[in-house]
Structure 1
């Protein structure tokens, strides 16, 4: 199998490249900076290149739409005119909703609030508006929070906090959310490309189980063999300090507080039904333990 990957230097791109190379597939990285053209022949394009959500809120709206929307349109047009059979576009659950009250599935009406989410949705709409040649397939992947060895972000911050013995101050927020291990992501992409019976469409990617951030702290503590105190400080006090963090550019701001405490449950039933499986290869807890253990070797 010959696969073209855009955004191959990123966390997901590096992992997918290694996974498919280990499976004896030929992987080509396509840089979309400056002048570029897509090779005419391959089996699939995995389009990862894009602008991630800026938690510091310093990016302009135009940046999101130029990179996430316009660039996706250009490479998709090249795919349509090529001999390549499969196009996999990595969108985001945030293209649908910034907040989830129940469980997010593929049928929910999309109402993103951020420029990041809106730019991803615009790209999705463009892909869905085109008539595909009969032999081609297009997959819009909406992953939730991806993690794995080498991952940076909130998981690493929580790990450092627990390692230093700092009490967890947000225990009053009792949430449930979805995670996605890089191992399960690799598995799902490989299965989509191997199984030609899977139909084009939108697919959520998430691990099987939901976890609260409080449970995540317990898992980190278990890995580190440290007992972490969980403090139930009044929510309004925490929210007040997060707003101060917005103005003073502190590590705890409104955006980070939301990521750490929000309810965001994502259904993966559609892709599992397509693959005729009941469970993904790696459980939610196993994947998180693997990621957390990798921080010890940094």
Structure 2
């Protein structure tokens, strides 16, 4: 089976290529949005990963999100509808639904994205859902939560450095739960969607089976480093006051960073598990340990 992948050079794309290359023929499609362009697709499956990632520094031009994440997806999906390809997989995000989660996020939640990144992804989702699929074609919208894996330098790497230096974790009093997604599990789901024709088209959230607290992450990091993790349960009021001071004095800990480190964001994967008829390939703990061990190297 020939699989066309856009955004193949990114973190998800490079891992997906390694995962699929032994069982399928892969075609890299390097593409950017250009007004009025017509795209020709030659392949059996299209996996659309290309797009503009969320800019945490908030310096990006809003128009860039809509061109890269919405307009380009429209062009590619239109090309899919008239091509010989039978499967289209669009990599969206849970941020297309919500930036904050009360309880557990499911596919039934009404989307209310707050950022240009999330809004553009949601617009792409709505466009895909608005089109009638020709007979024999399937389309899937995947909403992954925070993806991690060997080679990914994100917030988990920052926590790793803190534990490696023996610095105590000061936010132990905050009890949160957050869903993560191992890159291995994401690749596993993509392969199932390609090969299992019985999985209905639609939107599927993707997350590891178990959410984790930040305190659990700190303990897991200690195990990976073979060091004793130290967790301090300082007063929430004291920490909040320090964060507010950080807003004014530009300290490492400010209100926004405190929220990101302690917020709840639990994502249900029940729908995709039910559709596949099997569980994820590895546990949340196993996937996180693989990521942490890669930081050592």
TM-score, scaled to structure 1: 0.93
Measured at CA, do residues 226 and 129 of structure 1 come closer, stay the same or move farther in structure 2, by a change above 3 Å? same
Contact 2:181–2:208 (8 Å) recurs in 1: yes
2:162 is aligned to 161
> Would you say 1:294 and 2:282 are equivalent positions?
no
Asked whether the 8 Å contact 1:55–1:255 carries over to 2, the reply is no
Offset at 1:235?
3.3
SS at match of 1:5: strand
Show the counterpart of 2:10. 10
Measured at CA, do residues 253 and 5 of structure 1 come closer, stay the same or move farther in structure 2, by a change above 3 Å? farther
- Residue equivalent to 1:218: 219
Larger deviation, residues 255-264 vs 49-58 = 255-264
The answer to whether the 8 A contact 2:33-2:68 is kept is no
Tell me the CA shift for residue 275 of structure 1: 1.1
CA RMSD, 1 decimal:
1.9
3-state SS in 1 of match to 2:143 = strand
Alignment partner of 1:174 is 2:175: yes
- State the match for 1:185 in structure 2: 186
Cα offsets for 1:125-149 (capped at 9, x unmatched): 1111111111111100000011111
In structure 2, C-alpha distance between the alignment counterparts of 1:55 and 1:274, rounded to whole Å: 33
Q: Which has the larger displacement, 110-119 or 257-266?
A: 257-266
Alignment of 1:25-104 (within 5 A): 25-33=24-32, 38-104=39-105
Give 1:253 shift.
4.6
Give the equivalent residue in structure 2 for 1:234. Answer: 235
Cα shift readout 1:67-124 (whole Å, capped 9, x = no counterpart): 1111111111111121111110011011111111111111111111111111111110
Shift of 1:22: 2.6
Structure 2 CA distance for partners of 1:129 and 1:166, relative to 1, 3 Å: same
Distance 1:244 1:140 in 2: 42
Between the two proteins, the alignment pairs up a number of residues equal to: 295
| TM-superposition CA deviations, 1:192-232 (whole Å, max 9, x none) | 11001111000000011111011000000011111122122
- Stretches of structure 2 that go unaligned for 5 or more consecutive residues are none
Q: What SS class does the counterpart of residue 197 from structure 2 fall into?
A: coil
Mapped partners of 2:42, 2:162: distance in 1: 48
Q: 1:88 and 1:34, CA in 2 relative to 1: closer, same or farther beyond 3 A?
A: closer
Q: Is the 8 A contact 2:46 2:89 kept in 1?
A: yes
Name the SS of the counterpart of 1:22 in structure 2: coil
8 A Cα contact 1:55 1:256, kept in partner? no
Match of residue 125 from structure 2: 124
Q: Distance in 2 between matches of 1:224 and 1:171?
A: 19
Distance 1:86 1:133 in 2: 11
Closer, same or farther in 2 for the Cα pair 1:116/1:257, shift >3 Å?
farther
Instruction: Give SS of 1:98's match.
Output: coil
CA–CA distance in structure 2, aligned partners of residues 181 and 251 of structure 1: 28
CA distance in 2 between partners of 1:39 and 1:174 (Å): 50
Mapped contact 1:245–1:251 kept (Cα < 8 A): yes
Task: Check whether the contact 2:4–2:42 (CA below 8 A) recurs between aligned residues.
Answer: no
SS in structure 2 at match of 1:49: coil
Offset, 1:233: 2.9
* Residue 237 to residue 47, structure 1, CA distance change in 2 (3 Å): farther
